[in-house]
Amino acid sequence: MATYQGKSVKLNSPSRIGKGEPGYGRKKSKVYVKKGDKVIKVMFGDPNMEIRKDNPEARKSFRARHKCDTATDKTTARYWSCRAWWAMAINNQEQLSSNLPKKYQLAPKANQKCSNCSFYEPSGYCTLWKATVQSFAWCAKWKGVVNGS
- The pLDDT tens digits for 105-127 are 777 788 888 889 999 887 778 88
pTM: 0.59
> Strands (DSSP E) along 46-122, which ranges?
none
In a domain, 97, yes or no: no
Based on the fold, state whether residues 83 and 126 are members of the same structural domain: no
Based on the fold, state whether residues 20 and 85 are members of the same structural domain: yes
Based on the fold, state whether residues 88 and 120 are members of the same structural domain: no
Based on the fold, state whether residues 82 and 13 are members of the same structural domain: yes
In a domain, 74, yes or no: yes
Number of domains observed in the structure of the chain: 2
Residue 21 is part of which domain span? 2-92
pLDDT reading at 90 higher than 70: no
Distance in angstroms (rounded) separating the CA atoms of residues 63 and 15: 21
- The pLDDT tens digits for 27-84 are 999 999 999 999 999 999 999 988 776 677 887 888 889 988 788 899 999 998 888 7
Based on the fold, state whether residues 84 and 110 are members of the same structural domain: no
